[in-house]
Structure formats: C-alpha cells, structure tokens
Amino acid sequence: LLAATVASLAFAAAASAQTVGFSQIGSESGWRAAETTLTKQQAEERGIDLKFSDAQQKQENQIAAIRAFVAQGVDAILLAPVVATGWDSALEEAKESDIPVILLDRQIDASDDLYMTAVGADSVHEGEVAGGWLVDTVDGKDCNVVELQGTTGSSVAIERKEGFEKAIADHPNVKIIRSQTGDFTRSGGKEVMESFIQAENGGENICALFAHNDDMAVGAIQAIKEAGLQPGKDILTVSIDGVPDYFKAMANGEANATVELTPNMAGPAFDALEAYWADGTMPQKFIQTDSKIYTQADDPEGEYERRKGLGY
Ligand code: GZL
C-alpha cells in the first residue's frame, strides 16, 4: 500500500510538471550564454521541464522549433526572436493550440494578441544612455564615432541605434562616421573594426566606438590594439550588456563604459507563467527602463569578479 501511495504521489507530481519550449537565438555572445544558463537554472528550480532549442541565429530554425513545440503540445513557449518580423504564422499556430508565448529580450512587429507578454529592457533608452555618456565625456570636443550594430533587423539593434542618435542629435561635435553590423559577435566586431581602422587613416580619425553589445566591443578592442592604438584612450569605447570580459577590459584601462542589461529574463517570464497556470492571471509587459551605466570609476575589477561565475 505504501509503495502504491508513493508511486501515485510521484505520478501526480510529474503530471503537474509543466513543459516549456525555449527557442533561443544561439550563443553569439556572453550575455546570450548567461541568459541560457539562467533560464535552465530557473526551470530546474521551479520543477519546469524545459525543452531547449538553439537556432544558431537563424530565424527559420526558430520557426521550426516553435512548430515542433506546438506539435509536442508544450504548456508554454519562450521565444528570444532573432529579428523583429516574420513570426505571425508560427505564432498563429501556437495561439490556435492555446499555447502562451512569452518574448525574451527582444520585441517583434506583430499584434500583441500573438504573445502573452514580453520581458526585456527599453533598448532605445540603452542607446540614449550610451550616447549621453559619450557627449558628456567629450565635453564639446569633436568626436568621430564608429558604430558596430547588432544583428540586422533585430529590435535591439534598431532601437539602440535610434537611442544613441537621439542622444547626440543636439551635439554636432559628436558624429557617426561609419556604421556596420558585427552581428553581436566578437569575431564580427573585430573584423568590422579592422575595416573601420583601415578606412579611417589607420584609426587616427576615430575618436570613439559605440558597440551595440560588449562582445563586439571586446573583438574591436583586439583590432585597435593590433593597429598599434590604445583602446580606452586613443579610441574611447562604450557598449551595452555588462559582461565580465568587458569589465576586465575596463579594469585594464582598455574600455570605458557599458550599459548593464540583466540576463535574467526567465525569472519574470516563469513568474508570469506560474501566475497564469495558477488562476489565469494575464501579466503586463515587463520592460526594464532604469539601465545603469558602469565606467572605470565603478570598480570594474570588482564587477568582473562578481559576474564571472554567473554563466556568461
Ligand atoms: C539584448 C539582446 C542582445 C544582447 C546581445 O536584449 O537581445 O542579444 O545585447 C545578444 O549580447 O546577442
């Protein structure tokens, strides 16, 4: 009788375990790797059965993953959408199967009824904070900026660019002279920065780099050093994410500022799902608007130590 009771309790517990499909973009940056680590940890802690799919940064792989999750009959889908458009038909299928979808860290151009909520940050604000720091730092002096854009067509690349341009709009001394995507990767950042340096008199004309994420900036810092220039001095650097290796570069005086973005998007997403599963509560959008900028004055070595073990 005892064995039967234990078995039925175990079955009941397993039956109540929710299954969530996670269509992750890829592992293009340290920030992305941390988001994946934290999502898996949170699922484990909450007894959620996570089905993980890495799309290698290809939208068609994400669409295939969404369709597979619908076919499996998962209880919910997390989607970090690599680009902002082209999701309607896949999300319609999830909707028809009453499977709630939550967007993580990027937005899509689709009607709100195709997803339950979105967890992320105000990317326009992130770009504005970065631009505002540069304007203040150069303090009226002329500054030619090169820009490493994130993945073309992603909401964050579009919005970070918009925010940065807004911040420098009234300061004609700060000018973007070259702008190109490095696809959020270190190798992309290095390659494109090499071409910027080559095209701009060996880098002599470049005063600052604005990178849409730290990983591209870390790659660009390598290119600046290989060109015989001092990153953080000859060419100022400002970027976004707050990954450990960028704090390390700041501690070494080779980078100047980064706008922090938490990789913990899964926490609010799972909270929203658990509330929905419990009693049908529909969540609000969860958009962080108080992005903090860190500079060399903010104990970068300490920030590096604090963050290096967090799954980046
Ligand atoms: C931001 C996220 C971006 C990070 C990059 O919300 O979508 O994607 O800033 C990552 O590091 O590639």
Confidence of residue 8 (pLDDT cuts 50, 70, 90): low
Question: Mean pLDDT over all residues of the chain?
Answer: 95
d(CA 203, CA 196): 7
Average pLDDT over residues 244-266: 98
Using one digit for the tens of pLDDT, what is the confidence trace for 23-78? 999 999 999 999 999 999 999 999 999 999 999 999 999 999 999 999 999 999 99
How far, in Å, is the centroid of ligand 1 from the Cα of 273? 23
How far, in Å, is the centroid of ligand 1 from the Cα of 278? 31
Ligand 1 lined by 120 (C-beta under 6 Å): yes
Average pLDDT over residues 298-307: 97
Q: What is the pLDDT of residue 283?
A: 86
Ligand 1 lined by 186 (C-beta under 6 Å): no
Ligand 1 lined by 22 (C-beta under 6 Å): no
Which of 37, 261, 287 is the best mutation target for the ligand 1 pocket, counting ligand atoms within 8 Å of the beta carbon and taking the most? 261
Q: What is the pLDDT of residue 9?
A: 64
Average pLDDT over residues 145-167: 98
Average pLDDT over residues 135-160: 98
How far, in Å, is the centroid of ligand 1 from the Cα of 228? 29
- For residue 105, what are its two tokens? 């860290």
Please choose, from the candidates 100, 99, 65, the residue with its C-alpha nearest in 3D space to the C-alpha of residue 82. 65
Tell me how far CA of residue 20 lies from CA of 72, 95, 206, in angstroms.
10, 15, 47
Helices (H), 87-147: 88-96, 123-138
The answer to whether the beta carbons of residues 274 and 283 sit under 8 Å apart is: no
Q: What is the pLDDT of residue 1?
A: 74
Q: What is the pLDDT of residue 52?
A: 98
Q: What is the sign of the dihedral through the CA atoms of 58, 63, 67 and 69?
A: positive
Which atom from ligand 1 is nearest to the alpha carbon of 32?
Answer: 10
Which of 27, 31, 106, 108 is the best mutation target for the ligand 1 pocket, counting ligand atoms within 8 Å of the beta carbon and taking the most? 31
Using one digit for the tens of pLDDT, what is the confidence trace for 184-226? 999 999 999 999 999 999 999 999 999 999 999 999 999 999 9
Q: What is the pLDDT of residue 14?
A: 46
Q: Is the pLDDT of residue 133 over 90?
A: yes
Which atom from ligand 1 is nearest to the alpha carbon of 240?
Answer: 9
Q: What is the pLDDT of residue 4?
A: 74
Q: Is the pLDDT of residue 151 over 90?
A: yes
Ligand 1 lined by 29 (C-beta under 6 Å): yes
Ligand 1 lined by 28 (C-beta under 6 Å): yes
Distance of CA 238 to the CA centre of its chain: 16
Which of 39, 156, 245, 262 is the best mutation target for the ligand 1 pocket, counting ligand atoms within 8 Å of the beta carbon and taking the most? 156
Ligand 1 lined by 161 (C-beta under 6 Å): no
Q: Is the pLDDT of residue 11 over 60?
A: no
